Amino acid sequence: MRARGIEPTSHVYTNLIHAYAVGRDMEEALSCVRKMKDEDIEMSLVTYSIIVGGFAKVGNVKAADQWFKEAKERHATLNAIIYGNIIYGHCQTGNMDRAEALVREMEEEGIDASIDIYHTMMDGYTMIGDEDKCLVVFSRLKECGFSPSVISYGCLINLYTKKGRVSKALEISHIMKLAGIDHNLKTYSMLINGFINLKDWANAFAIFEDVVRDGLKPDVVLYNNIIRAFCGMGNMDRALRTVDEMQRGRHRPTSRTFMPIIHGFARAGEPRKALEVFGMMRRSGCIPTVHTFNALVLGLVEKRQMEKAVEILDEMSLAGISPNEHTYTTIMHGYASLGDTGKAFEYFTKVKSEGLELDVFAYEALLKACCKSGRMQSALAVTKEIGDVWEAADLVQQMKQEGVQPDIHTYTSFINACCKAGDMLVCLQLLP
């Protein structure tokens, strides 16, 4: 800095740290912090707030906590900003007990929570699906003298659309309008997304008409939702025309724009057209990812076109993209649906051999394959292929040993297998 005639000060370093944190480059942000310490420049509370917020946004709550603790040691009093940042971090990871403890700590320190902190808490409870506590926070917000804003009501709309209770979300929308608060693009997108998840295309498009009537210009998120709706209806041509409309409006499509189109063509049995969309992505400046290829694989698996789904693995290799655990698990589920235990185990082995993470869906696919083929005992054909096969009961035990908790679908498949085999004693031994 001095070589460029810039005298390093706390203010200068803080601005640099802020720039790196906004760009999610926390390594560079920390390098600035190290330089500050080397030059005996004290970190202000603002600097600490930025560091804590930066780590919270990249999901590194452990680091955020460490810097928050250091801030408390170095500064006699904190403020609502740094508390808001650390609370955000814990809410994003679903650690609502810690978030509530931090709010209480603020109150004990005589620091008033801002309305943004209440919104963060509502979002946190929405993420873990706790309606009652989300409503409690909404009530606390009003009790503290804050007037609910479009963001406050948006938190409730988000809560109910995520829970599939779109009618309740519409009630909140009506209450919001009665309070003289207009929708914004975000709240409209939530409602549209809610109806799309219910496959209620008519109401999704009715909300879109409200957007246009209100004179709001659709953004990328809203366009993406409308494209999802067209793809869900099977109107692929209209979905593609919407992409053109986005680009004419100077909105750059993202991978989320193209994923439902790719999945839609694959599900319609048109893998060539789905692959053509990858070319469209590249021309739009959007690089295909493993997630976009996974959308194609999923569509083909849903049509039970397993040979074509497996061929996509070669297409991924040519594109320099490695399959992830979701790619293989999707293929496993496809073969499991056909009762092809050997192929299901083959791709399970690939997940393990490539060092990818095994999750409940991978084990569920194996269990499904065993149940579909009626094989409670080890399958000799599979043994010959890979030399390592568990019984369906062994799979559930293996899941637990690997730290993967079986879910309701896993247990349902297992119970079905036990019924087929007439061995309910094994079933009772494994049920929690």
The pLDDT tens digits of the residues spanning 46-82 come to 999 999 999 999 999 999 999 999 999 999 999 999 9
Please identify which residue in the block is written with the tokens 């009961």. Answer: 393
Q: Where does 39-95 have alpha helices with state H?
A: 45-57, 61-74, 80-92
Residue 78's pLDDT is: 94
Asked whether the beta carbons of 193 and 205 are under 8 A apart, the reply is no
Over residues 211-237, the mean pLDDT reads: 92
The total of other beta-carbon atoms located within 10 Å of residue 360's CB is: 16
* Cα separation, 123 vs 56, whole angstroms: 15
Q: Percent of the chain at pLDDT above 70?
A: 82
Give tens-digit pLDDT for 259-298: 999 888 888 888 888 888 888 888 888 888 899 888 888 8
Give tens-digit pLDDT for 340-393: 878 888 888 888 888 888 766 777 676 667 666 655 443 333 333 333 334 444
- CA distances to 116, 133, 136, 226 from 177, rounded to whole Å, are 21, 24, 22, 23
Q: Percent of the chain at pLDDT above 90?
A: 54
Residue 379's pLDDT is: 31
Q: Taking the model in full, what pTM does it have?
A: 0.73
Asked whether the beta carbons of 367 and 417 are under 8 A apart, the reply is yes
Asked whether the beta carbons of 21 and 53 are under 8 A apart, the reply is yes
Residue 192's pLDDT is: 95
List the one residue out of 269, 295, 267, 268 whose CA is nearest residue 281: 295
Q: What is the mean pLDDT of the chain?
A: 84
The total of other beta-carbon atoms located within 10 Å of residue 432's CB is: 6
| Phi (first) and psi of residue 22, to 5 degrees | -60, -40
List the one residue out of 339, 265, 256 whose CA is nearest residue 298: 265
Give tens-digit pLDDT for 304-336: 889 888 988 888 888 888 999 889 889 988 888
* Cα separation, 430 vs 432, whole angstroms: 6
Widest CA span in the chain: 83
Helix (H, G, I), strand (E, B) or coil at 253: coil
- C-alpha neighbours within 13 Å on the C-beta side of residue 24: 5
